[in-house]
């Protein structure tokens, strides 16, 4: 099997490539990444494997896609602008990568390689805030910020290509991931790194916003199951049922690092900040036999250890801008 992974120098993409090489060493992988914010070449520099090839490139570049896609059986699209706060400051890169990029992949498959399977990595954020209950695959989208709107738009374009051109497409939607190699701008690494540096830990609003956390390795396992056994035209929600408010999560990290709760600093909330995300993942559990293997507290503690042991990975990335307490704020008119 030959696969094209896009965005494989980012957090989940790099973990997915390492997961595949370890568990399915026979699969040949081409990784295309534009090396924009979120990527880190160090994520895979240690990877020397005859079945892995890296190409620097953009998923909006149809010429490049036309060369690569006919060579592979499947495309798995992780490539995206992924930070909500940055989408509030400047949504254009999000619309380009997350919508035009997906369109470019779909159209290349339609015109050049109809047998190639396409797996889109989407997000729970497309459903918007769920004050109670959990979103099912068929629920209506209610995105609240330019990032989630761009991911929801991509899904609608995918649905149109599925119905109009009869392509082989699947979608996964996952809740918040955590684990090694996540960019310092995201909540968990930012909290760990600021805490290591004895800096105040910013909490948006009341800190009561709830997210459902999944260890990245469990997400990679779920994606692999969908890739190998998922059904054409279907979407699969992926969640670990670890619902936690931001304030409880931050307190757990501080406790783990022996830091006082006095470091917590409540800051002005982000506009359009969804209160609660929750997915019903019974479909993937029943149909594909997936369930998370990792326990939340243990994997959180391992993630903290990873950041403690890999300062050289984040030292140059942990700039003032990346660790800003309110990165969206400076862009407000």
Per-residue mark of binding to ligand NAD, 171-210 (x: CB under 6 A)? ---x-xx-----x---------------------------
Residues 101-130 that bind ligand NAD (CB under 6 A): 101, 121, 123
Nearer CB in complex with ligand NAD: 76/162 = 76
> Does 278 sit near ligand NAD (CB under 6 A)?
no
Shortest distance, position 262 Cβ to ligand NAD, whole Å:
29
Shortest distance, position 24 Cβ to ligand NAD, whole Å:
20
215 flagged as catalytic: no
Catalytic residue among 52, 54, 103, 147: 147
Within 10 angstroms of residue 111's Cβ, the number of other Cβ atoms is 12
Q: Interface with ligand NAD by CB under 6 A: which range of 57-65, 190-198, 268-276, 291-299?
A: 57-65
And the tokens for 34?
């534009």
Catalytic residue among 33, 81, 125, 221: 125
147 flagged as catalytic: yes
- Identified binder of ligand NAD from the candidate list 17, 29, 59, 135, rule CB under 6 A: 59
What is the rounded CA–CA span in Å between residue 173 and residue 123? 4
Helices (H), the chain: 11-23, 62-68, 84-89, 92-95, 101-112, 146-165, 187-196, 216-229, 246-256, 282-288, 296-309, 311-314
Per-residue mark of binding to ligand NAD, 138-177 (x: CB under 6 A)? -------------x----------------------x-xx
**Residue 213 region by backbone torsions, left for phi larger than 0, else alpha for psi between -120 and 50, else beta:** beta
Q: Interface with ligand NAD by CB under 6 A: which range of 27-35, 135-143, 245-253, 261-269?
A: 27-35
> Does 60 sit near ligand NAD (CB under 6 A)?
yes
DSSP three-state, residue 32: strand
Residue number of the CB atom closest to ligand NAD: 10
Q: Which contacts (CB < 8 Å, 24+ apart) does range 44-52 have?
A: 44/8, 44/9, 44/14, 44/17, 44/18, 47/17, 47/18, 47/21, 49/21, 51/21, 51/25, 51/26, 51/27, 52/17, 52/21, 52/28
CB-based contact 222:290 (threshold 8 Å)? yes
Residues that bind ligand NAD (CB under 6 A): 6-7, 9-13, 32-36, 38-39, 58-60, 78-82, 97, 101, 121, 123, 151, 174, 176-177, 183
């Amino acid at each position: 099997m030959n696969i094209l992974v896009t965005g494989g120098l980012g957090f989940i993409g790099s973990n997915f490539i390492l997961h595949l090489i370890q568990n399915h060493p026979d699969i040949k992988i081409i990784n295309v990444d534009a090396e924009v914010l979120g990527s880190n070449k160090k994520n895979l520099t240690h990877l020397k494997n005859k079945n892995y090839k890296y190409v620097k490139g953009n998923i909006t570049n149809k010429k490049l896609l036309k060369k690569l896609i006919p060579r592979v059986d499947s495309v798995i699209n992780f490539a995206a602008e992924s930070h909500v706060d940055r989408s509030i400051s400047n949504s254009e890169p999000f619309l380009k990568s997350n919508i035009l990029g997906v369109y470019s992949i779909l159209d290349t498959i339609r015109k050049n390689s109809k047998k190639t399977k396409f797996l889109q990595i989407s997000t729970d954020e497309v459903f918007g805030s769920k004050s109670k209950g959990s979103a099912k695959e068929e629920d209506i989208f209610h995105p609240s910020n330019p990032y989630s709107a761009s991911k929801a738009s991509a899904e609608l374009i995918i649905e149109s290509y599925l119905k109009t051109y009869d392509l082989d497409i699947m979608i996964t939607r996952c809740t918040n991931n955590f684990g090694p190699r996540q960019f310092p701008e995201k909540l968990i690494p930012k909290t760990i790194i600021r805490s290591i540096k004895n800096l105040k830990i910013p909490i948006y609003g009341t800190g009561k916003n709830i997210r459902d956390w999944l260890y990245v390795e469990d997400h990679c396992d779920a994606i692999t199951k969908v890739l190998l056994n998922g059904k054409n035209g279907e979407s699969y929600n992926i969640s670990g049922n670890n619902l936690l408010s931001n304030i409880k999560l931050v307190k757990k990290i501080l406790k783990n690092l022996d830091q006082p709760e006095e470091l917590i600093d409540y800051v002005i909330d982000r506009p359009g900040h969804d209160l609660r995300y929750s997915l019903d993942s019974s479909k993937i559990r029943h149909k594909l036999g997936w369930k998370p293997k990792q326990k939340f507290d243990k994997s959180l503690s391992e993630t903290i250890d990873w950041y403690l042991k890999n300062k050289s990975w984040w030292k140059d990335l942990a700039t003032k801008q990346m660790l800003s307490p309110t990165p969206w704020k400076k862009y407000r008119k």
